């Protein structure tokens, strides 16, 4: 796993350049994850990073969050043939609450909040509170 300021040699070390992670943590390798400064990842998170995962500065990620960049085709005859991978971008100052799932190809806009238990399948605009399955904009949270 890489942080924006350099390599992170031991993810379970918990602190590195203001990055805090509470284990356990699961990933498909971690080499395609980029993490900014002042990022907090709570326990029991899963990051499938095959498609690339970019987490900006000041992001907070609650416990049991899944960020999944890869999947399979819907058609039964193609499902086991290959994996589809799409990047996920989490912009600055986002809060992803407990148990949320973010699906590949999504950008979560700056200052947004993803409510607990939500499944995000489409882009989240900046300064928005989203929730539900599939997640929808509940309201603006602009100051």
Count the alpha carbons within 13 Å of 131 in the hemisphere toward its beta carbon. Answer: 10
φ, ψ for residue 11 (rounded to 5)? -55, -35
What span, in angstroms and rounded, lies between the C-alpha atoms of 3 and 120? 24
**Contact indicator for 73, 89 with CB cutoff of 8 Å:** no
pLDDT in tens, 44-99: 999 999 999 999 999 999 999 999 999 999 999 998 998 999 999 999 999 999 99
SS3 23: coil
Question: Which residues are known catalytic residues?
Answer: 72
**What one-character DSSP code corresponds to residue 115?**
P
Question: In which band, very low, low, confident or very high, does the pLDDT at 13 lie, cut at 50, 70 and 90?
Answer: very low
Q: State pTM to two decimals.
A: 0.87
């Amino acid at each position: 796993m890489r942080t924006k300021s350099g390599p992170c040699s031991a993810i379970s070390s918990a602190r590195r350049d203001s990055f805090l992670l509470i284990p356990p943590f699961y990933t498909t390798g971690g080499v395609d994850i980029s993490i900014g400064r002042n990022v907090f990842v709570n326990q029991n998170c899963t990051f499938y990073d095959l498609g690339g995962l970019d987490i900006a500065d000041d992001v907070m990620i609650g416990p049991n969050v899944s960020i999944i960049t890869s999947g399979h085709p819907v058609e039964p005859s193609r499902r086991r043939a290959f994996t589809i991978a799409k990047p996920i971008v989490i912009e600055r100052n986002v809060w992803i609450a407990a148990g949320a799932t973010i699906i590949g190809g999504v950008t979560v806009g700056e200052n947004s909040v993803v409510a607990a238990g939500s499944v995000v399948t489409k882009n989240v605009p900046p300064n928005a509170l989203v929730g539900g399955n599939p997640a929808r904009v509940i309201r603006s949270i602009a100051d």
